[in-house]
Each structure stands twice: as C-alpha cells, then as structure tokens.
Structure 1
C-alpha cells in the first residue's frame, strides 16, 4: 500500500499541495536528497522559499527486480495511490501540483486518467479540477531502452544468471515504445489541451555511469503543445537531485511551484460545480467573498 506523508507542518495547512512522486527503485527519502551532501531533503527547501506550500511525499513499492515481490504495474499502482490520496482530509481542499521523477510521472498521468474516467464521482471530480501543475523529471513517456534490453530473452537469461532475479512488473512495463505507454501519452496530450494545467519538463543529457542514457530526449519529452522540454546536464539518477538552492533543477522547480496560482474561489467552485461557473461571476457577494468563506446562491 502507498505511504503518503505530509513533510511540512501539519498544524499549518496552506493553500497549495506539492506532491513528490519517486521513480522505479526509488523511495520517499533517498530519491529527494540533495546531490552535494546527500543529507538534505531538498523539497523542504521549498517551504522556506515559498510561504504557501504543503510538501507531501508518496512512497510505493516499485522494485527494479523481482525479489520477495514482483510489485504492481502502472495501472494498479495508480489506482492504489489515487484511492489513498482521496482518503487524506488535508488534501480535500487546495491546489495540487505533482513533481515526478521517472516512473512517478507515468503513474501520475495514470492517476489523472483514473480521476477523469470517474468524473461523475464527486471526490474524483473535485480532485482532478484542483490539479494545476505537473513537473516531469526524466519521465520515460515512450519507455526506456534499458527496459527493452532487460525484457528480451537473452537479457532476461543473463540477468537471472547474475542476480537470480527477473525484472519486476513495473520495470518490464517500461520497454521502449511500449504500446500502453504510447497510448497513455497520446491520451494525456489530448486531455491537456482542454485543461488549465501547467507543465515543467526536464530531460537528462548525460549517461548514467558514463555508459547509457536511461531516458532519451524524445521519450522524456511528452510532446505537450506549448511546452518546451529543458535539457539538464545530469544523468537519470541525478535529475531529481539538485546540488543546492542555486542549482538549475531547484530553481526551475521553485519557479514552477511558486508561479501565479489559480484564483482560490474559482478553483473551489469549479471543483464542485464542474466547468459551469460563468453564472457566478456576476454576483458581487462572490467577488468580494473573503478567503475561506463561501456564499451559495440558490
């Protein structure tokens, strides 16, 4: 089961929730440590630099290899995490921004698809209408060559001889040009065109261990209209690990989560009354409604 933890002050719930999703073989702790000291959880830096954020981490079981458990595939992971997100009272209100490393970005897209498919379910509709941003850090939207090589018969045999293990379900689903990944990305691109959703896309340009590019640029770029992917001179495991507050990874993400947010009242009403909010704009009592106070006109 997914473990969702509020890292910021639980006694001071603010307007914007930033949810960090790790990738394949990662976890909620080590994935988000800074690269310089490997001790600081750099998402917590955002709390000091932006005064309206709640910081959340999601941990889920996504091993690279089959050990005691083969883990779950992307659809099952997304369903499990989505249902757990909906159970958290503190996440029932406020804007939501996802920051995703690698596989975490694919799971996030699948979560949004689940919420969209369940649009007539009130809590699902309210959730998806409050998601206003997604940051993809080295996400393999079209899969990875490593997973492809690990999925062929020779590589499987070699892997089993060396480690006595096979790729996990999640790892096997990341094969390059996997039809399920391509279909999910096509759906996401089309769906985004009709949503007020901001994106940040960072792509790696260096090889991991100097030998292989885990997520190539064409796979790391989801191809969303109007969104330009930003190359970063790091390898896959480090595209989620800034050195310090001056590092470009951190400055890009800080700018992204601190950009002008959607109006609080419009966000609240659109999440509860679908997209039919034009009739509300003429009510002066709504326009002057203070933060946290709601006026319902029947």
Structure 2
C-alpha cells in the first residue's frame, strides 16, 4: 500500500516493522450486529502494512471498501501481529499470538458490553492456524469461553489444515514460506517441518471445536509460479460434511487468493455471496442462540474428556446436528435438570405405552435431548455423563432407562411451535421424526421464528429419508419459506428452492416426483439454484419446465 493509504494511522509510520493490534476498520456504531475479524498469514517483508495489504489490491481493501455495502451492520476488524516471529518460534510463538488475539478481542467486546454478538473469523494461509489455535484455547479457558460460544463461522483462504498429496503439513508450511520469502532461513524451514504446531494431529484437536461452526474454505486453483499449487484442495478443506463446510475453488494463486481490486470481480462475487450469507444467518439466528443460553451466562464449556472421532478428516464427518445454523427458537433445558425429580405420571405412562421398537429407532442418537446445549462436547462423553447421573438420581427406584427417552418425551409434549420436529428433520433423525408424527406433531408447523417447516429443514440439509417420510405423511411440498425471500429474491420459495440452492439433486427428485409444482415455484427454485451457481439443479428444473421463461 502507498504511504497515502487512508487505512494507516500516523503512529504506523513511527515503526517501519510489523505491529501488533486489533483495529476496527468499519464501525457501524450502535447499528452493529456482528463482529468480523480478519487475520493475515506470513509477513515476508516484515512491514507495518501487511495486515491491511493482505486484503488489498489496486488500493482497494475489500473488507472496508466493498463488503460493508452488503452488510452495513458488520463491525469489521483487522488483527495485526508479527507473523514472522510467531511462526519462526513455532509453537510457542503461535500460542502467544493466539492468546494475544483472544485478549484483544475480549476487551474490544467487553467494553461494548456485547459478549453475545456473533463473530466470524476470516483468515489467510497460516493465519487460519492462528485462528484455530485461538478457538481451541477459547474452548479450554473460561476467560475466553464467550468468544468460543459467540463464534458462528470461519472463512479460510488457502489455509493448510493437513498435508497435501504425499506432503506432511510441516513440509507444506515450509512450502508456503518458500512461496512468500525470497531467501528463507533454513533453520526456520526445518523448525516448521518438525514442530508439533504443524503436526497433522492438530486437525483432530480442532475437530472437537469445528462442529460448532459453519465453515467456508476457499482454495487456490492457479499455481504460484514454478512452485505450483502451494495449498491444494486436499489440504485446504477441513473435510466436514456439506452441511457444515462449503468448499470453493478460486482462480487465484496462494498470494492473491484474498485480494480483490473490484467488486465486480467474479472471484470476489463468489467470496462476497458466501460471506454475506454466513453473516445474514448469524445475525438472524443470534436472538435464538442467546435465548438458548449460548451466551456469557451459560456454564463454561469444559475440555472434552473424549475426543470426537475423526479417523480421516477427508471423509464426511457426521456430527450430531448444527446448532449454529438451526437453533430452535426456544430454550431446551439440560437433561440433568429434567431428571432431578421423578417423571410425572403422564410422562411415565406415555413412555410405557410407546412401542419399544419404534422408540429404539427414534432415540438412536444418545444426545437427542441436547441438540443445542451440549453440541460442543463429544457424544460419547455426553452419553456417559448422563447415564451416570441418571443412575445416581434413580438408584434403587426403577430400572434405568435410556437418558433420551424421558427427555425426548418432554420435548415433544412442549413442542408447540414445532421447533423440535424441525431440528430432528434437519439432523436426519428419521426415527424421532416418525415418533413425533405418530404422537400428533403438526407436520407443517413452521413456528414464528423463520417460516420453515420440517420438510423445508430436511430439504435444506439433503436429508432424503426424512423428506421421503414427510412426503408420505402428507407434508406440504409447496409451503412458502419466509426467510428464503431475502436470500434469493423470490417470493415463490418452497422446500424445492432450499434443496436447489444447496444442490441436493436426489432430494429435489423426491420433491418433484411427489408433487406437481406450479411454474412460479419451479422458477423460484431455478432462481435459487442460479444464485448459488448450482448447474445440475438448474438442468433438472429445466426438465420440469423451470427457468424456461
């Protein structure tokens, strides 16, 4: 950036070297609804402007010059740190700067008295390692627990999460150094290759944390000179399920993957649309998350005693739901609270009357009663703790039941707004959906929170078995999904539109095969697919007459 850059302060010129700060570059004031924090990677020139230059092209800092036009209520911050020192000293330096990031962000939010405001982290290259270490630390340290709870999404640009093709992560980090440094220090490279901060096992550590967030991973599709692709797709994606992680290739190299000089740049439009969607979802879901106790008033999250199972992160990882995306609009109290006294006669009678085979199907997931409050802990840990607690509460009184039985029953009884049915549908819990419908749950109950029905949620997340069941039970496949209107610009959005926008082709075929959609609905779905560049979905809809006008 030039010396005349409006983003540099007078104090920046006092020291020509990299500085340490968390600076607000866009401040909507009292209108702010979300915090966006950008973290850069290595700083080859050790310059004061690198934290800004990382996101700048043609003197345009897109985080400041372009993005606020789409999301005017986002407070946007840049984190600057001496990346060279941090990564040269490897583990110790990275952990120190991760603490630095957490401490500065905590104070920024504490002064504003807005600990519950959602957070989205945006990171380039090794800056993503910094963010991941910070979130692992936030999960384990009560001082920063509010940051971990408030974090809604992560946007990675060319961050190496694991080794590439036949290349360990440490060697890949060294490759990044060679790409940005002209004459890298050999001892620095050796330290990167050997240090535990870049061990592939870090992905397993982050696995326990990642299930709480929505992730967008951008990876490079253009070689960096003779070095080729620095961080290939295999390394640049976390390997989460498609409902947790969006993976997008950009026609840029590693150095320029997050630099955009025009808001009409095709790659920027792709980046903008995905970030804006994440921000809108985070803002929309914030009241529900706060009401669910995902706030500073919630009990601190302890480090899990049993690691989540992630034997191969390149395979789809199935988590027990996604509270960050689809939290019910009412608080679900913890299971421990629900069993401190004997169940009412009504509940006990209901449990005894339920066919056991159906019950086993509905309650196959041990944490079904903890869709939100225990989502950040491993399912095995939650199940063990609840079983022990249940035994202590009812020792000598009656046979121990599955901890989910009474909880599921109590949730169903109080599910007046349909939130539990919708959440079960979104998570693909066919047995629980079937049981609730058998007990009289209203199949098209959309509540008052977001206008989605259970079928809409199942279609959005590609839960084909649930979609099939709901269609067989008479769910309305043409139900108007209210909150989709602002996202895709059509007033004719249905569950078909949701499936089309996500590219769930098999789900779309189920919906199209079970209902004769009006042309307006087909066109609405086509618009949603076109907005998200889902070519297969667009072709399918054209076969049924959508988009032809």
Q: What's the TM-score, normalizing by structure 1?
A: 0.75
Which structure has the highest strand share of the two?
1
Give the stretch that moved more between structures: 95-104 or 273-282. 273-282
* In structure 2, C-alpha distance between the alignment counterparts of 1:149 and 1:278, rounded to whole Å: 48
Please tell me whether the aligned partners of residues 14 and 53 of structure 1 are also in contact (alpha carbons under 8 angstroms): yes
Please tell me whether the aligned partners of residues 204 and 234 of structure 1 are also in contact (alpha carbons under 8 angstroms): yes
Structure 1 residues 161-172: aligned runs within 5 Å = 163=183, 165-166=185-186, 168=188
2:257 is equivalent to residue 236 of structure 1: no
Structure 1 residues 209-220: aligned runs within 5 Å = 209-220=225-236
Give the structure 1 partner of residue 332 of structure 2.
Answer: 278
Deviation sequence 1:140-167 (CA, Å, 0-9, x none): 112364544699xxx9xxx9xx959455
- Secondary structure, in 3 states, of the residue corresponding to 1:245? coil
* In structure 2, C-alpha distance between the alignment counterparts of 1:23 and 1:164, rounded to whole Å: 16
2:100 is equivalent to residue 100 of structure 1: no
* In structure 2, C-alpha distance between the alignment counterparts of 1:173 and 1:100, rounded to whole Å: 23
* In structure 1, C-alpha distance between the alignment counterparts of 2:333 and 2:172, rounded to whole Å: 52
Please tell me whether the aligned partners of residues 24 and 62 of structure 1 are also in contact (alpha carbons under 8 angstroms): yes
Give the structure 1 partner of residue 40 of structure 2.
Answer: 22
* In structure 2, C-alpha distance between the alignment counterparts of 1:82 and 1:176, rounded to whole Å: 26
- Secondary structure, in 3 states, of the residue corresponding to 1:236? coil
Deviation sequence 1:114-152 (CA, Å, 0-9, x none): 01111xx2x42211111000001000112364544699x
- Among 187, 194, 198, the alignment partner of 2:214 is 198
Deviation sequence 1:20-57 (CA, Å, 0-9, x none): 111111622110102xx2x0111011112212211110
Give the structure 1 partner of residue 285 of structure 2.
Answer: 263
Give the structure 1 partner of residue 523 of structure 2.
Answer: none
* In structure 2, C-alpha distance between the alignment counterparts of 1:263 and 1:150, rounded to whole Å: 37
- Secondary structure, in 3 states, of the residue corresponding to 1:87? helix
Q: 1:102 to 1:172 in 2, by over 3 A?
A: farther
2:147 is equivalent to residue 131 of structure 1: no
Deviation sequence 1:175-230 (CA, Å, 0-9, x none): 3996744222122234323x2x1110011122112433221221111212222421
* In structure 2, C-alpha distance between the alignment counterparts of 1:249 and 1:211, rounded to whole Å: 22
* In structure 2, C-alpha distance between the alignment counterparts of 1:176 and 1:248, rounded to whole Å: 39
Please tell me whether the aligned partners of residues 24 and 64 of structure 1 are also in contact (alpha carbons under 8 angstroms): no
Structure 1 residues 1-80: aligned runs within 5 Å = 2-9=20-27, 11-12=29-30, 14-25=32-43, 27-34=50-57, 37=58, 39-44=59-64, 45-63=66-84, 73-80=93-100
Bigger RCO (CA 8 Å, 6+ sep): 1
- Among 124, 128, 138, the alignment partner of 1:115 is 138
Q: 1:234 to 1:272 in 2, by over 3 A?
A: same
- Among 83, 102, 106, the alignment partner of 1:82 is 102
Please tell me whether the aligned partners of residues 176 and 230 of structure 2 are also in contact (alpha carbons under 8 angstroms): no
Deviation sequence 1:66-124 (CA, Å, 0-9, x none): 9xx86863222212221221121246341100111001111111111001111xx2x42
- Secondary structure, in 3 states, of the residue corresponding to 2:193? coil
Which structure has the highest helix share of the two?
2
* In structure 2, C-alpha distance between the alignment counterparts of 1:2 and 1:232, rounded to whole Å: 30
Please tell me whether the aligned partners of residues 5 and 57 of structure 1 are also in contact (alpha carbons under 8 angstroms): yes
* In structure 1, C-alpha distance between the alignment counterparts of 2:175 and 2:158, rounded to whole Å: 19
Q: Which runs of 5+ in 2 are unaligned?
A: 1-18, 45-49, 163-168, 300-329, 335-410, 415-446, 449-549
- Secondary structure, in 3 states, of the residue corresponding to 1:20? strand
Q: 1:109 to 1:70 in 2, by over 3 A?
A: closer
Please tell me whether the aligned partners of residues 150 and 167 of structure 1 are also in contact (alpha carbons under 8 angstroms): no
Q: How many residues align?
A: 265
* In structure 2, C-alpha distance between the alignment counterparts of 1:167 and 1:98, rounded to whole Å: 31
* In structure 2, C-alpha distance between the alignment counterparts of 1:267 and 1:65, rounded to whole Å: 35
Q: What's the TM-score, normalizing by structure 2?
A: 0.43
Give the stretch that moved more between structures: 258-267 or 17-26. 258-267
C-alpha deviation, 1:265, in angstroms: 2.5
Q: 1:174 to 1:199 in 2, by over 3 A?
A: farther
2:279 is equivalent to residue 250 of structure 1: no
- Among 166, 176, 182, the alignment partner of 2:200 is 182
Q: 1:148 to 1:265 in 2, by over 3 A?
A: closer
- Secondary structure, in 3 states, of the residue corresponding to 1:203? strand
Q: 1:100 to 1:147 in 2, by over 3 A?
A: closer
Give the stretch that moved more between structures: 254-263 or 124-133. 254-263
Please tell me whether the aligned partners of residues 251 and 267 of structure 2 are also in contact (alpha carbons under 8 angstroms): no
